[in-house]
Structure 1
């Protein structure tokens, strides 16, 4: 019988230990079942939430930043564009909500890049779990951050005079549509998080993409006031479609075309950048 050695606690002399017994101690019972795709993804999502617990400064972009955006743009442009901040907040709040949530999606790529730099992903890839779980978990964790930012902005908007004609149903529908689009949009930044070497590079590239998409849209003004060549870009921007859909739902309308475009963009982004991201993840 093959034996291994161990030291007795009193004498310190080697004592024979049966290999079968040692194996029985190390591997007791049956192997636990492999976690489901949802269970693994939810676990990684919870990990993202625990990171916020230890570094609460990560919530600044979903609390302080949205408040600054609403106050600044409403009182800066309200009188000049609409003649009244109360009237302007009815138009601009849904747009700023879309703009803010789309902008904070880039932090998903930053978080992915940081974990890669620390070597955490090397451990993730050795685990017997659904391979995309780590990526999906990041995005699920960010969904809660998007919901928190939406709640902060809508609460402030109500204080400032925002009155959604669609009531609570329209508001929830608009926020749900925005979160679906943001989840799909975040896959772009996970791809950049895997491609680029540093988190500063991820931030820089993200800003280059996000700023034209958000500012060249109908977030702040009606595109009909823009030059014709610019209207062509703005009217076909995914952010414009999402902002129009969210604004319409909160007003109590049902903008079917804009909702369809928003969901179509979401499906296209997920179909294109999801597989590309996972291919990079498997080869990283």
Structure 2
């Protein structure tokens, strides 16, 4: 335990340095959220007239959805980085060092979570510039960012496990593409639950993406349902712990195969 934390932080810094050296990538990842916020948001701004959105502004409703969707989209590709390190032999070289196996995997996940937090804050600020209102204030924004980080941890860890299992770019791309749209549209990302078909509404109840969105929206509202926020945040935390455990177990399986 005494060495696990500094080793994990070292590996986290290593991944963050790679991100810092690619500022263009950070800008490009914000293109899609901007399109969702200002193009899609403007196109469907009158949909709030249907009722059930809890706000008179569609942008207010959309911002938490875009934050969470961006966290999902970014972290689904974490396995590609793991796969590149396997193919370059970098991961195998680390296996000859005293670095803990958990640190090798968790450094990637933690760095992705920190990048997700930064991206989430930028999207919230963009929404604010566009006229979004956050009655929940700083506390509500913090809950939304933490929810997006937990969701990112879930799918980042699962993506790492997937990268070690399939070890093929095409397989990762195919699986990610298959998951992204169903997870997005079987949620309340764009539409109030009361306006959705009943089967989609029930499917959303089991969708971690929706848990993060509902927790974030509630925390940002003028009258948050903190018990509901706590339940969904706790479910995300439990899922994140399970995903990280699975990722580490998969890595140990990979280690035995080399």
Same fold flag (TM > 0.5):
yes
Partners of 1:267 and 1:50 in 2: CA distance: 29
1:193 is aligned to 163
Partners of 1:261 and 1:147 in 2: CA distance: 18
1:262 is aligned to 233
Q: Does 1:71 align with 2:41?
A: no
In proportion to residue count, which structure has more helix? 2
- Give the CA deviation at 1:93: 1.0
**TM-score, normalising length: structure 1:** 0.80
- Give the CA deviation at 1:122: 0.4
Q: Deviations over 1:9-37 (max 9, x none)?
A: xxxxxxxxxxxxxxxxxxxxxxxxx9711
Partners of 2:22 and 2:62 in 1: CA distance: 32
CA contact (8 A) 2:71 2:116 kept: yes
1:184 is aligned to 154
CA contact (8 A) 1:101 1:182 kept: yes
Q: Deviations over 1:188-242 (max 9, x none)?
A: 1111111122233212211211221112101111122222222221233222221
Figure out how many residues of one structure are paired with residues of the other and give that number.
Answer: 249
Q: Does 1:41 align with 2:41?
A: no
- Give the CA deviation at 1:263: 2.0
Match of 1:168 among 138, 153, 157: 138
Q: How does 1:22-171 map to 2 (within 5 A)?
A: 36-79=3-46, 81-82=47-48, 87-171=57-141
- Give the CA deviation at 1:74: 0.6
Partners of 1:103 and 1:221 in 2: CA distance: 19
- Give the CA deviation at 1:67: 1.8
Larger Rg: 1
Partners of 2:147 and 2:74 in 1: CA distance: 16
Q: Does 1:225 align with 2:195?
A: yes
Local SS of the residue matching 2:135: coil
2:175 is aligned to 205
Local SS of the residue matching 2:101: coil
CA contact (8 A) 2:212 2:236 kept: no
Partners of 2:146 and 2:244 in 1: CA distance: 20
**TM-score, normalising length: structure 2:** 0.88
Q: CA RMSD in A?
A: 2.3
Partners of 1:169 and 1:258 in 2: CA distance: 12
CA contact (8 A) 2:219 2:229 kept: no
